[in-house]
């Protein structure tokens, strides 16, 4: 390479870096640091560096290009998603083997039984809503992928264990499978159910509660209104970083039918806060399946049960941590519900939970083996029949 070509090469390279650097500075027009960020403690600088790094064009180009190659050539995304057929996406939590999964499963089952006892001591009846995995409901779309052995009979094992403990846990898989004839019960690009799926589960839980743990409250009327449909980009598309350069390669958005449930005749949505000091008939604890208003699960429960439902579910913490926090809350200690519905996706059963925020002795007490026969006698004839294996 001659001296002139070398100089030209360096000039072009430096010019390209300068242009890309100036381009990325445009992102600061929309930069807004988090509240409370100050310059003196270095947090503002860190936030600015992170924002600049995220918006740097070369990084975005490389990320998008690599993701597009993986997606187009190998039908793969980033860790977190499994790309199925017909533009269906699944969480890899429903496929991967989990280190210590069998041990975690037994530990979590012990906690479930401990929660049952803690609720019973306060006069509350536990109703477990075991949400079947998306792969179990839509195996026709997973393609050549195969769930790890631990996941294959996880739903049935979970039901068998809680039935032995005398916990009310109706089968939700069969009614959801039947409802597929009416529409999607899980979103194609998301980990969650649709409002239709949430409604089916609410109705099944209502029937089970009416038979086994009837509510001693004055019935209330609730009405659910359809708020129209809109495109919905599911959370699993976050593991396909194709925006903005290759966004046309992404699976098409889901169609979300939005719903809202209100107390009949009030014209306003039922406010849980209004019932904070009143006797609570039903409490709901769980994950984003319950906490996210997009699915209207709490609303569907209100209408199916003809009762207000106070929602204690949390987004992003799994099913165990919200329940443990609820058991220690002043609201539960002073005003326990007659029935506590615990929404628990099956895929979380073999997952390790960091319980460091709770007192270790209290957790050990919850896990302590109890007299299962005593529990069964207390709920004789009230537990659901064990769930049969489904293909």
Q: Count of H helices and E strands in the chain?
A: 15, 8
Strands 282-285 and 309-311: what pairing?
parallel
Q: Does residue 54 carry a catalytic annotation?
A: no
Choose, from 91, 208, 288, 383, the residue flagged as catalytic.
288
Of 129, 170, 89, give the one whose Cα is nearest residue 297: 129
Whole-angstrom distance, CA of residue 256 vs CA of residue 279: 35
User: Coil, strand, or helix at residue 348?
Assistant: helix
Alpha-helical (H) ranges within the chain are: 3-25, 43-55, 57-74, 101-121, 134-137, 149-152, 154-164, 173-179, 195-212, 288-291, 297-305, 320-327, 330-334, 360-367, 372-378
* Residue 4 appears among annotated catalytic residues: no
Find out whether the peptide bond into 244 is cis, omega within 30 degrees of 0. yes
Are 198 and 296 a contacting pair, CB within 8 Å?
A: yes
Q: Give the Cα separation of 95 and 147 in Å (integer).
A: 4
- Candidates 192, 208, 290, 338; catalytic one: 192
Q: What are 5's two structure tokens? A: 């070509």
Tell me the DSSP string of 155-203: HHHHHHHHHHTT-B----HHHHHHHTTTS-SB-SSSSSBPHHHHHHHHH
- Spatial contact of 185 and 200, defined as CB atoms under 8 Å apart: yes
Q: How far apart are CA 187 and CA 193, in angstroms?
A: 6
Find tokens 């600049």 and name the residue: 52
Structure tokens at 107: 């530990």
Give yes or no: 30 in active site: no
Q: State the Cα–Cα distance between residues 349 and 338, nearest whole angstrom.
A: 25
Instruction: Catalytic residue, from 190, 254, 270, 308: name it.
Output: 190
Tokens 């005749």, located at residue: 265
Q: Is the separation of the CB atoms in 168 and 213 below 8 Å? A: yes
**DSSP classification of residue 295:** S
Catalytic residues: 190, 192, 288
């Amino acid at each position: 390479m001659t001296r002139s070509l070398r100089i030209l090469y360096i000039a072009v390279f430096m010019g390209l870096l300068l242009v890309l650097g100036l381009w990325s500075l445009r992102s600061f027009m929309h930069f807004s640091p988090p509240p409370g960020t100050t310059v003196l403690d270095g947090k503002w600088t860190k936030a600015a560096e992170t924002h600049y790094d995220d918006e740097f064009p070369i990084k975005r180009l490389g990320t998008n290009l690599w993701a597009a190659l993986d997606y187009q050539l190998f039908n793969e995304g980033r860790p977190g998603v499994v790309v199925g057929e017909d533009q269906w996406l699944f969480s890899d939590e429903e496929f991967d083997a989990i280190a210590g999964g069998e041990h975690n499963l037994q530990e979590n089952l012990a906690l479930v039984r401990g929660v049952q006892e803690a609720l019973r001591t306060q006069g509350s009846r536990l109703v477990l809503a075991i949400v079947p995995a998306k792969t179990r409901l839509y195996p026709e779309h997973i393609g050549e992928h195969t769930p790890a052995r631990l996941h294959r009979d996880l739903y049935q094992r979970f039901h068998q264990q809680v039935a032995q403990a005398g916990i009310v846990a109706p089968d939700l898989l069969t009614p959801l499978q039947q409802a597929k004839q009416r529409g999607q019960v899980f979103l194609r690009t998301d980990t969650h159910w649709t409002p239709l799926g949430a409604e089916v589960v609410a109705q099944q839980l209502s029937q089970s509660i009416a038979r086994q743990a009837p509510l001693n409250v004055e019935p209330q009327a609730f009405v659910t209104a359809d708020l129209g449909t809109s495109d919905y980009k599911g959370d699993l598309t976050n593991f396909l970083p194709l925006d903005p350069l290759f966004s046309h390669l992404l699976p098409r958005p889901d169609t979300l039918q939005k719903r809202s449930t209100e107390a009949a005749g009030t014209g306003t949505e039922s406010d849980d806060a209004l019932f904070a000091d009143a006797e609570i008939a039903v409490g709901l604890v769980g994950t984003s399946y319950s906490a996210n208003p997009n699915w209207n699960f709490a609303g569907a429960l209100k209408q199916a049960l003809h009762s207000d439902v106070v929602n204690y579910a949390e987004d992003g913490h799994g099913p165990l941590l919200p329940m443990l926090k609820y058991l220690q809350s002043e609201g539960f200690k002073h005003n326990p519900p007659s029935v506590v519905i615990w929404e628990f996706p099956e895929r979380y059963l073999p997952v390790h939970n960091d319980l460091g925020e709770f007192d270790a002795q209290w957790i050990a007490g919850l896990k302590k083996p109890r007299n299962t026969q005593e529990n069964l006698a207390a709920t004789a004839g009230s537990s659901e029949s064990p769930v049969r294996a489904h293909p």
